[in-house]
Amino acid sequence: MASLFVIQGRDQGSRFQLEDAVHSIGRTHTHSVRLHDTEVSRNHAELIRKGNAYAVRDLGSSNGTFVNGKLVTEHELTSGDQVQVGRSLLLYTGFIDDRMEDAAGQVDIVPMVGGSIDDGSRIVASLGQTGGSEWLMPDARGSSNPWLARARSNLQIMYRTALAVSHTMDIDQLLARIMDMIFDWVEADRGCIMLKDLETGKLTPKVRRHRRGVRTEEKISISKTILDYVVEQNEGVLTSNARDDSRWDPAQSIVTLGVREAICVPMQGRYEVVGVIYIDTAVTPQKMLAAKGANQFTEEHLRLMIAIAHQAALAVEDTSYYKALVQAERLAAVGQTIASLSHHIKNILQGVRGGSYLIELGLGDHDTMAKSGERDEAAEQKAVDTIRKGWAIVERNQERISTLVMDMLTFSKEREPEPRAANLNEVTSEVVELMASRAQELSVELVWRPAGDMPSLMFDPEALHRAILNVVTNAIDACDEAEHGRVTVSTRYDDDQKLAQILVEDNGAGIAPDDIEAVFTVFVSRKGGRGTGLGLPVTRKILEEHGGQVRVESTVGQGSTFILELPATPAEAEGNQRMTQSFAAGDLQ
């Protein structure tokens, strides 16, 4: 299956599997490749399947579509191509050969069988790790094989190998490509790649290949003696089933396997052997007579295999280290999340404990008066006031914990908006009414200015309500220390651009230009212990899920304006579209 992997941008690390005939790229939730990048157009580009490949076509986007740094209108992609849309860079991986098989079930590592003397083979050549590198040098000796000489002269083989291993972070895809290229360059009948298990050190088959016409039901039996030699000595070997190699007389482990010629090379990385590559071929008597006894595999093939194995090993190491780094970053993020949440929850619990103490104090005073039998209205009122004050603190902290939980749920998972026809003015008005008492408590003037021409739009009203609520709450808190705090909430509608806006303006302390992006960072709060650092990140996430964005205009000492922009889909247009789709479906019946 083909895929797009985001290697740069807001969605870095996301992978999109490609299998349909057409995939669209854009900002809205209707696209199969959806990017939360404000420089990506709402309908930016599309991927069109052509056989076993995809072509990318730009849809008149504002910032264009680039493939490997070149602006394109339409371009057929190959594995390793980098597609840039907006500020996002995506790595394309093509289809993998469907002939990949269950390697573990098709490869056996065979131990010495009972010391049988009819179990041996000879290595006709061996080569150290540097042999493959020397083979790449321009002044290396010429090859008797014309094809290998031409390939070596322009380094095409190694260039293609390096190119292939550098364009994927998936080890299975990497090994499959390596094996495919080996079969393109070497006349092998069967082959497999085995990787060393990091914990046990055992070799585990990962990829198996066979040439067309070779019986696929037969397992590949590989001598454990040879594997041990290759890994321990860090040498590639070329084996033949002749019986005059003294190195294998004690083990006698190859002849009974029936392999005429084989190559087994170590995958030497920067620090250790990470696996082995094995290929073999069965030479029939007819072929031997035709070739006058010449070997099917030569030392040139061995050099080539060592060089390829080294490149593959480096790529396997890089991929493993990258995965380990990602895992470490995830664990660090989990640790940061736990620490931040613990801090916020501790503050909330302290508030609840303080409120509970006041309630208990008020109840205690009331019980004391009841036991004394004396009626003191002033003392009773004081006890009631103390209880109410404590309950208000408890209630306020209950709201804080509820807000924290809802923000965590909203931010922690991808959520598809559930759009329906709604009035943006009504949703915003509900938020203003809800926050009126909070503004009054902090002596902040809250002004509401709805747009008179706001049509009914398609959006998720519950999600937008939370997004607007977070921004208005922050604006009111920002005016807490202002002499005459004022927050103005307004809406606008631009019919030409099909854009709806919610503007929240305050006259608080303002935000420095360098700090604007930081306010959208998770767990970063400018409100000290009062803030969770989740409100604005959640707001941005909700707007981006709708294909919109949040912009900030701020001047230090004068205040800030948060602009929530929402692509406007009129309810009538949505209804017409659904009706058209219904008629079209009816025509097909």
Q: Kindly list the distances between the CA atom of residue 565 and the CA atoms of 96, 259, 277, 504, 543, in Å, as whole numbers in the listed order.
A: 41, 69, 55, 12, 7
Distance CA 218, CA 472 (A): 70
Low-confidence ranges of the chain (pLDDT < 70): 96-106, 110-124, 127-160, 163-169, 213-217, 241-260, 283-295, 326, 328-337, 339-340, 343-344, 407, 410-415, 523-533, 570-589
Measured CA to CA, the distance from residue 82 to residue 89 in angstroms comes to: 7
User: How many C-beta neighbours within 10 Å does residue 565 have?
Assistant: 21
Task: Determine the 3-state secondary structure of 445 from DSSP.
Answer: strand
Q: Residues 254, 223: contact at Cβ < 8 Å?
A: yes
Looking at residue 201, what DSSP letter applies?
Answer: -
pLDDT of residue 284: 56
Q: Check if the beta carbon of residue 297 is closer than 8 Å to that of residue 342.
A: no
Q: How many CB atoms lie within 10 A of CB 437?
A: 9
Q: Architecture of 420-574 per CATH? A: 2-Layer Sandwich (3.30)
Taking a C-beta distance cutoff of 8 angstroms, is the pair 530, 477 a contact? yes
For 35-62, give the DSSP string: ---TTS-TT-EEEEEETTEEEEEE-S-S
The structure tokens listed for 415 are 């959520």
- Helix, coil or strand: residue 15: strand
For residue 14, CA distances in Å to 34, 222, 298, 410 come to: 10, 39, 44, 19
Instruction: Please check whether the two domains, 103-316 and 324-407, share a CATH topology.
Output: no
Q: State how far the Cα of 29 lies from the Cα of 17, in Å rounded to an integer.
A: 16
> Among residues 175, 31, 159, 33, which one has the least CA distance to residue 91?
33
Compute φ and ψ for 399, nearest 5 degrees.
-65, -40
Just give the CATH number of 2-93.
Answer: 2.60.200.20
- Assign domain 324-407 to its CATH architecture: Orthogonal Bundle (1.10)
Tokens of 107: 């490869």
Residues 21 and 49: their CA atoms lie apart, in Å, by 5
Place of tokens 């058209």: 580
For the record, the structure tokens of 254 come out as 């190859």
Secondary structure (3-state) at 547: coil
The first and second tokens of residue 362, run together, are 């008020």
> Under a CB-based contact definition with an 8 Å cutoff, are residues 488 and 517 in contact?
no
Structure tokens at 164: 């292939």
Q: What is the pTM of this model?
A: 0.46
- Kindly compute the dihedral angle of the four CA atoms of residues 372, 377, 379, 380, in this order, to the nearest 10 degrees: 80
Domain edges within the chain: 2-93, 103-316, 324-407, 420-574
- Give CA–CA dist 3/171, Å, rounded: 14
Residue carrying structure tokens 């008492």: 437
Helices (H) and strands (E) in the chain, counts: 13, 26
| Crossing angle (nearest 10°) for helices 461-478 and 424-441 | 30
Q: At the topology level of CATH, where does 103-316 sit? A: Beta-Lactamase (3.30.450)
Residues contacting residue 587 through CB under 8 Å, at least 6 positions apart:
none
Contact 239, 254 (CB under 8 A): yes
Assess contact for 38 and 86: CB atoms under 8 A.
Answer: yes
End-to-end CA distance of the chain: 33
